[in-house]
Amino acid sequence: MNFSISDDHQMLKDSAQVFLDKQVSLKPLLTPGATVRDAGYAANWAKIAEMGWPGLLIPEDYGGAGLSCIDLVMIVEELGRTLAPSPFLGTLLGTLAVMKGGDATQKSRVLPRIALGEIALALAAAEADGREDGPDRQTRASQHGGWRITGRKAFVIDAAEAQMLVVTARTDASAARRLFLVDAGQAGVQVAIEPWRDITRQVCTVTLDDAEAEPLDAAGDALWPWVRDRALLALSAENAAGLRHVLDVTADYARQRVAFGRPIGAYQAIKHGLADMLGQAECARTATLYAAWALSEENPRGPLAAAMAKAYSSDAYVEAAHRSIQIFGAIGFTWEMPNHLYLKRARANAELFGAPREHRSRVIDLARAELAA
Amino acid sequence: MDFELPAEDDPRRIEVRAWFAERPRPTGRELAEAGYAAPHWPKPWGLAADAELQLIIDEEIKRAGVNPPNLVNPVAVNNCAQSLLTHGTDAQRERFLTPALAGEEIWCMLFSEPAGGSDLGALRTTARREGDHYVVNGQKIWTSLAHKAKISVLVARTDPSAAKHAGLSQFLIDMASPGVTVRPIIDLSGHENEYNEVFLEDVIVPADRRLGQEGEGWAISMRQLQTERVALSKPGAIWGAGPTARELVAGLDQIGALDDPLVRDEAAEIYIEGEILRLLAYRSLSDRMNAKASGPEGAVRKMLAAPHGQRIVDLAKRVQGPRGMLAGETAFPLTPGRKGIYDDWDYAFWFSPAVTLGVGTQEILKNVVGERMLGLPRELDPTAKGPWNESQTAKRAEKTA
C-alpha cells in the first residue's frame, strides 16, 4: 500500500512541466478568430514526438517506452494544465485501440510508426447525437471481399491531422460494435473541421463512403470498454490539472487585486470560493490517480474508478472555470484573457465520451454490483 | 503508487488477529498494554506503529467487534493525551496516560465558551496563581462527555495583561473538584448530554496540573484540535461514526428508490464523493508513511467530509416523504452489525447540523484553508494585538459611548 506518487513519476511530471512551459503559448488564441493551428498545433506535435510521448504506452517490442497509465497521467496532466494544442489525445485514443485490438501484424505495422512520431491517429466513435453507445448507430461495416465502412462519425478529436483512423461500426452479422482501422488518406474518407468552441483542440466530422477498413479483433468485445475507460482517464487527468491551474491563477489574482483597500482574497465571499475550489482540485486529482492505478493494474474496480473520475472532475472543472471568471470580474469575461479557454475546455471535456450524469448512472450500476457481492 | 490495502495474509495482520483470537473480549487496559489503544505513539504507550500497521490494528479491532479505544475515550486518545508526551512532566505521564488509553478515566475538553467558540482566543475563564495552586473561574459550553469525564483539559487565561493568544495556559482538572458543575444541553435532536455546560467556581487546581508552561495554552490547544489520530475512519455521517454513502446506496437500492433518475443521480454524486474522501484519507496516511510533509489533504478533508455526511442523511430523509417526519422513523433498516445511536438514520439526520459547527465551524475552516493553503490575507482581528484586558476595556467604553 502506497498512495503517494513515486519519485520517478514526479520526475516525469516535472520534466513535462519544464518542456511545456517553454513550448506552449496560448497567446495566439487570445485574438478572436484564431484556431488551434495558429497556436502551434503542428509545431508542438513535432516537439512532443521528439520527447517520445506518442510511444509512452506502446510496448518496447514495438518501439515504445512501455510505460503505464500512471506515467500517462503525469504527462496528460501537464498537457491539460497548459491546454497544449496538439494531436496528442486523438493519437493516444487511436493507439490504445491498436495496442489492445490489433493482431501482431497490425501492431508491427502501425505502433512503431506512432512511436517514431511519423503518424497521428484519431478515434471515431461518437455519432451526431454525441453518443458512442446505443442501438441506433448508423455507421455500418460490411464485408465484400475486404471490409468497407459507410457512415458519419462526429466529434472526432484530431481527425484532420490523422493519417489513420480507428472507427467503430456495426456489422450486418451482429448488432455488436466492432472497431476498424481505416486509412484516412483514401478517397472514401472526408474530414471536416468543426467550429468547436474549445479552440485549443481540433474536433472534426468524418464521413466514410465505402471506405476500406480492417477489423481490430484481437480483444473481441472487451476492446471498446478498455479503450473507453482509458479515454475517460485521459480526460479526467486534463480536467484535474486544468482545475488546479485555474485555482492557482485565480488565487494569485485574489492575492494581488485590491478593492476597498484590501486584496479581494481577504473577503470571505472570495476566500471561501477559493477554498471550495481547492477541495475540488484535491478530489479530482485523487479520483484520477486512483483510476490511473486501477487501470494500470487491470483492477476490477478500474471501470468504476474511471467513471467516477470523469463524472467528478468534469463538473468540478466547469464550476471552477466559471468561478474563476467571476473572481477576475469583467476582465475575465474578455477574449483577451485566457480564462475562457479553460471554461471552454472544461465544458467540452464534460461532454466528450459521456456526460457526467451518464457516468453517474453507470457508477450506480457498478456500485450496486459491488455492494451485492 | 499502489492503492492496495494491507493484505489478508500480511504477517502483521496475522499477529494482531491472533492476539484478538486469544482474547475475544479484551479489557481496555489489556488493549492499552498491548499498545493497541494508540499504536502510533512511542513505546511504552504505543507501538511506534507506521500508518500501515495502524490501519491493520484499526481494521482488526473492528473485525473483533471491540469498541475502539478512540471512540471509548476520544478526547484523550484522538486529541489531548498526546500533548503529555511533549509538554507533560514524567509525573503527569505516569499518572494520566495509562488510565486514559485504557478508557478507565474518560476525558473532556473545556475549550469553547459562550463568548468564545470559533474565536476561541477570546475565552474569559481565568486561572489565577495563588502559591502552589491556581484558582479557576468561568463557564465552558458545548462540552462533549463532561457528564462522564473524570479528567478535563482546560484552557484558561492566566495573564490578562498579555496579548489575546499569549495569555492562555492549559490544565488537567479533576472533574470531581469542588466548584465544578455540569449541566446537560438538550440539542435539537432531543438527545441529552451529547453536549454540556460546565461551570467553574473557585476551582482549586494544583500547580503541578498545569500542562506545559504558562502562555503555551494557545499553541497546545491548536495542536490538539488539529491532531487527528491518522484518520482511518470511513467518511460518513456524524464525522464518520454514522451511516456511509455505501450504506446509503445499499439502502436506496433496497427500497427501490434508485429507479427515480433524480435520486439515482444524487446518490451517485454522494457515493463518488464518499469514495474519493476515503482515498484522500489513505493518501494522507501514505504521505505520513513516506515521511513526506503531510499535504493539504487533512484539513481539506475535514472541510469536505462534514457536508458530505450531511448530504448522505439528507437524501435518506427526503426519500422517506412525510413518513420521515415521524419521530424515530428510520429511512432504512440498520446495516447488519450496527446497533448504536450513531448508526440510526433518523438520529444521524437530526444531528447533522452539528457537524459543520463542531471542532471549528465550516466558515472558520474555509478561512483556514484559504489563508494557510492558498496564502490569502488573514482575517482582521482588532483584539489580537496589545494587552487583552485593554482591548476589553476599550470595547466596553465603545459600548457606553
pLDDT tens for chain A, residues 1 to 373? 677 889 999 999 999 999 999 999 999 999 999 999 999 999 999 999 999 999 999 999 999 999 999 999 999 999 999 999 999 999 999 999 999 999 999 999 999 999 999 999 999 999 998 888 766 688 999 998 899 999 999 999 999 999 999 999 998 767 678 999 999 999 999 999 999 999 999 999 999 999 999 999 999 999 999 999 999 999 999 999 999 999 999 999 999 999 999 999 999 999 999 999 999 999 999 999 999 999 999 999 999 999 999 999 999 999 999 999 999 999 999 999 999 999 999 999 999 999 999 999 999 999 999 988 8
Cell numbers standing for residue B173: 482538572
Cα pseudo-dihedral A259, A261, A266, A271, rounded to 10? -10
Q: Could you give the number of structural domains in chain B?
A: 3
Interface probe, candidates A71, A73, A267, A283, chain B, greatest B C-beta count within 10 A: A283
Q: Does a structural domain hold residue B317?
A: yes
Q: How far apart are CA A271 and CA A255, in angstroms?
A: 10
Whether the Cβ atoms of residue B384 and residue B165 lie closer than 8 Å to each other: yes
Considering only CB atoms, B286 lies closest to which of A3, A265, A360, namely A3
Q: Which of B 271-310 lie inside 8 A of A, CB atoms? A: 271-273, 275-277, 279-280, 282-283, 285-287, 289-290, 292, 296-297, 300, 303-304
Do both B90 and B111 map to the same domain? Answer: no
Q: Is the dihedral of CA A130, A132, A133, A137 positive or negative?
A: positive
Q: Tell me: do B83 and B116 sit in the same domain.
A: no
Query: Which pLDDT tens digit goes with each residue over B180-196?
Result: 999 999 999 988 777 99
Give the per-residue pLDDT at B296: 47
- Report the alpha-carbon distance of residue A52 to residue A46 in Å, rounded: 10
Task: Say whether A363 and B268 touch across the interface (CB within 8 A).
Answer: yes
Name the residue facing B292 among A4, A254, A290 (closest C-beta): A4
| CA–CA gap between residue B169 and residue B161 (Å, rounded) | 14
How far is residue A303's CA from residue A233's CA, in Å, rounded to a whole number?
Answer: 10
Cell reading at B316? 435518506
Mutate to test the interface with A, among B13, B263, B366 (most CBs of A within 10 A): B366
Q: What is the 3-state secondary structure (H, E, C) of A199-218?
A: CCCCEEEEEEEEEEEEECCC
Same domain membership, residue B256 and residue B179:
no
Contact A363, A307 (CB under 8 A): yes
The active-site residue, picked from B60, B228, B247, B266, is: B228
CATH code of the domain in which B282 resides: 1.20.140
CATH number of the domain where residue B45 is located = 1.10.540.10
B118-166 residue pLDDT tens:
889 999 999 999 999 999 999 999 999 999 999 999 999 999 999 999 9
User: What is the CATH number that goes with domain A7-115?
Assistant: 1.10.540.10
Q: Which among B5, B296, B379 has the least Cβ separation from residue A278?
A: B296
**CATH-assigned architecture of domain A121-218:** Beta Barrel (2.40)
**Residue B367 placed within a domain:** no
Question: Which residue type does B267 have?
Answer: A
- Asked if A268 lies within 8 A of B275 by C-beta distance, the reply is no
Looking at residue B298, its pLDDT comes to 64
B380 within a domain of the structure (yes/no): no
Residue range(s) of every CATH 1.10.540.10 domain in chain A? 7-115
State the smallest CA–CA distance between residue B184 and chain A in angstroms. 34
- For the A222-372 domain, the top CATH level (class) is mainly alpha
In B, residues 352-391, which contact A (CB 8 Å cutoff)? 363, 365-367, 369-371, 373-380
Do B274 and B333 sit in the same domain of this protein?
yes
Cβ contacts below 8 Å, chain A against chain B, sum to 156
Neighbours of B172 (CB within 10 A): 23
Give mean pLDDT, residues B262-283. Answer: 94
With CB atoms and an 8 Å threshold, state whether B366 touches A2: no
**Could you tell me how many helices (H) and strands (E) chain A has, helices first?**
10, 9
Q: Which residues from chain B sit within 8 angstroms of residue A311, using beta carbons? A: 268-269, 272
The CA distance from B123 to B141, in Å, is 11
Rounded to 5°, angle at Cα B279 from B275 and B283: 170
Distances (CA, A) of A24 to A18, A80, A239, B77: 10, 12, 18, 52
Residue in chain B nearest A360 by alpha carbon: B268
Which structural domain, as residue segments, surrounds residue B292?
238-360
Nearest chain B residue to A263 by CA: give it. Answer: B377
Q: Decide the pairing of beta strands A140-144 and A146-157.
A: antiparallel
Residues of A in contact with B55 (CB under 8 A): 1
Instruction: State which of B215, B246, B269 marks the end of a domain.
Output: B215
Nearest to B332 by CA among B341, B320, B349: B320
Helix axes B261-289, B245-254, angle to 10 degrees: 150
Instruction: Specify the domain boundaries for CATH 1.20.140.10 within chain A.
Output: 222-372
Banded model confidence at residue B292, pLDDT cuts 50, 70, 90:
low
Same domain, residue pair B162 and B87:
no
What is the C-alpha separation between A120 and A202, in angstroms, rounded?
A: 13
Which cell is A108 given?
A: 508491427
**pLDDT tens digits, B7-41:** 899 999 999 999 999 998 999 999 999 999 999 88
Domain with CATH 2.40.110.10 in chain A: 121-218
Report the sign of the C-alpha dihedral through residues A329, A335, A336, A340, in that order: positive
Q: How far apart are CA A95 and CA A230, in angstroms?
A: 11
Based on the domain organization, do B307 and B284 belong to the same domain? yes
A253 near B CB under 8 A? no
Taking an 8 Å cut-off on Cβ atoms, the answer to whether B303 and A275 are in contact is yes
Residue B4 lies in a domain: no
A-facing residues of B in 29-58 (CB < 8 A) are 52, 55
pLDDT at B147: 94
A254 touching B (Cβ < 8 Å): yes
Among the partner-chain residues A282, A292, A294, the one whose CB lies closest to the CB of B296 is: A282
pLDDT at residue B293, rounded to an integer: 47
- Is B130 annotated as catalytic? no
pLDDT tens digits, one per residue of B229-270: 444 446 899 888 899 999 999 999 999 999 999 999 999 999
**In the structure, what pLDDT confidence band is assigned to residue B351 with cuts at 50, 70 and 90?**
very high
Q: How many Å lie between the alpha carbon of B277 and the closest alpha carbon of chain A?
A: 7
pTM (2 decimals)?
0.94
